[in-house]
Amino acid sequence: MRVPAVPVLFLVLLASGVLPAQLVTSPAIRAGERVRVTGPAVGSQSTRVANVLGLHGDTLYLRGDGAEAGGAPVEVPMTGLTRLEVSAGITRHTWLAAGLGALAGGVIGVLTAGDGSTILPGAAATGNAGEARSLDRTASAFSGAVLGALAGGLIGHFWKAEHWYALPLPRETGNGRRAP
């Protein structure tokens, strides 16, 4: 008879007094990471962005970011945090803005296109007015899309956003012990 491994492992852990949820005791933070911490332990600010110097026991050691970078390390107890986020990096929006600029430029090009007299002079007299208008709209849409993509790409290159992901915080249990 074969015994399933997962229920047996759970019973062994239960008998030893360690629940599977207690196996992870602290968030995975490495020194040098950029974090955003929120809570009363942060001090006068409710949220602080800083670089991690280390995590020892229940205390997070941070060095301020930007103007605070030269200051003394700040000790933040994990129990005084309500939220802990780690930076996933800063991204630029060059391609998104270029695509939106091309779309907007193309629409503006179509809407501002002329009657075609600049492309085929005398088209109305020869019965080709519709073809000339269509050609003028196509050329205007293409020109607008190219100029819009260039302008949007330039704007998007300078449009930066930092992305964050939240880490679970250990929480206090009723018996004074820390639970993940």
Least confident range of 37-46, 81-90, 116-125: 116-125
pTM tops 0.75:
no
Report the pLDDT averaged over residues 11-15: 50
Q: Which two tokens stand for residue 7?
A: 């229920």
Residue 113 pLDDT > 80: no
Q: Class of the 17-91+161-179 domain?
A: mainly beta
What is the average pLDDT value for the chain, to the nearest integer? 75
**Integer Cα distance of 122 and 57 in angstroms:** 85
Tell me, what's the pLDDT at 25?
Answer: 46
Question: Structural domain boundaries of the chain?
Answer: 17-91+161-179, 94-158
Measure the CA dihedral 19/21/25/31, to 10°: 150
Mean pLDDT for the stretch of residues 167-171: 78
Residue type, 35: V
| 8 Å CB contact between 90 and 162 | yes
- With CA atoms as reference, report the closest residue to 36 among 55, 49, 52, 51: 49
Average pLDDT value for residue range 47-51: 86
Closest to 116 in 3D by CA, of 129, 102, 101: 129
